[in-house]
Amino acid sequence: MHTRTFSAMGTTAEIAIAPPSIEVESIETDLETVLDTTESIIREHEGRLSRFRSDSDVARVNARLGTWVPVHPATARVAALAVEGFEATAGLFNPCLGTWLESLGYAVSFDMLPSPSEDPVPTLPPASGAACPLEVRESERRVRVAPGYKLDLGGLAKGWIVEQAALYLRSHGVHDFIVSAGGDMVCSGRHGERPWQVGIADPQEPARTLLTLDVDNLSLATSGTYRRRWQRAGATLHHLIDPRTGRPAETDVVSCSVLHPRLAAAEVLAKAALLLGSTDGMPWLRRHAPDGWVIVTKHGRVIHAWNW
């Protein structure tokens, strides 16, 4: 298997290509060149969509709240998908909670997050679920964020960027591969005669695999509260903000993995189900994630569902 691993998007990106995966007519393709370009595509999009880079589109939008800001077409596309995610989840998925994250201490890339702080945890208001604070005029390549909010496409951009990498690989005759960023992945085709096999991490011991899935040509995203955590005034905070409370989510779900043809959609579905908690999240997933899902609760219950 041909692999490439590198740091991107505040996590580890991995490309694994199953042999033989190159079409006959592309047999002379230089795989290393294809991988180089794939990595460049990921880095280019990250540069536009990161909340933490001062020259990114997201930073420029956040510097001019309340005004229409011209952005790259890719940014406008991701922003439009984010609005769709907001509407599909009635605001549970909110791409404009950057203000909340910054106030709670998540103002820099996670690998640079400061040591535990004794500053008190601020009390923040709920975010409105009535209308998305992000507006997009995609044909004009402009976006606008309402004052009081800050754009944070982190919940969706990673999946979309991985999808672009996957599209590039397919366009160059590579069909059986995994592109993963921090565990959110497109599993394209198969690994030879078998499906791709993906381990779901145990939230209590992330190095351990809780469950192994056979994945044949689908995407898989996992949202969880057991990573990207930090200490503040003795409290443990995490990055999944519940817009209904303005605080890090406190539900019984600590990890939710969703299978879907589209990785960006899987990310939104997993996040929304985690915020809903198992009681409301499971019936919702049953309706919207027919390819399957896995929930792990804080009580150690593993729940998974498959449509047959």
Binding to other proteins (CB under 8 A) within 164-193 occurs at: 178, 180-185, 187, 191
- Of 99 and 278, CB closest to other proteins: 278
Contacts (CB under 8 A) with other proteins, residues 260-299: 260-262, 264-265, 268, 278-280, 282-284, 286-288, 290-292, 296-297, 299
Contact 274, 240 (CB under 8 A): yes
Contacts (CB under 8 A) with other proteins, residues 133-162: 158
Contact 209, 201 (CB under 8 A): yes
Structure tokens at 251: 């539900």
Does position 212 interact with other proteins (CB under 8 A)? The reply is yes
Rg for the chain (alpha carbons), in Å? 19
Does position 236 interact with other proteins (CB under 8 A)? The reply is no
Structure tokens at 177: 């591969």
Query: In terms of C-beta distances under 8 Å and separation of at least 24 residues, what long-range contacts does 51-60 make, across chains too?
Result: 51/98, 51/150, 51/151, 51/152, 51/153, 51/154, 52/10, 52/108, 52/109, 58/151, 58/152, 58/153
Contacts (CB under 8 A) with other proteins, residues 56-115: 81, 84-85, 87-92
Closest CA to 224 of 199, 259, 200: 200
Among 222, 232, 237, 241, binds other proteins (CB under 8 A): 222
Contacts (CB under 8 A) with other proteins, residues 246-265: 252, 255, 257, 259-262, 264-265
Does position 221 interact with other proteins (CB under 8 A)? The reply is yes
Does position 8 interact with other proteins (CB under 8 A)? The reply is no
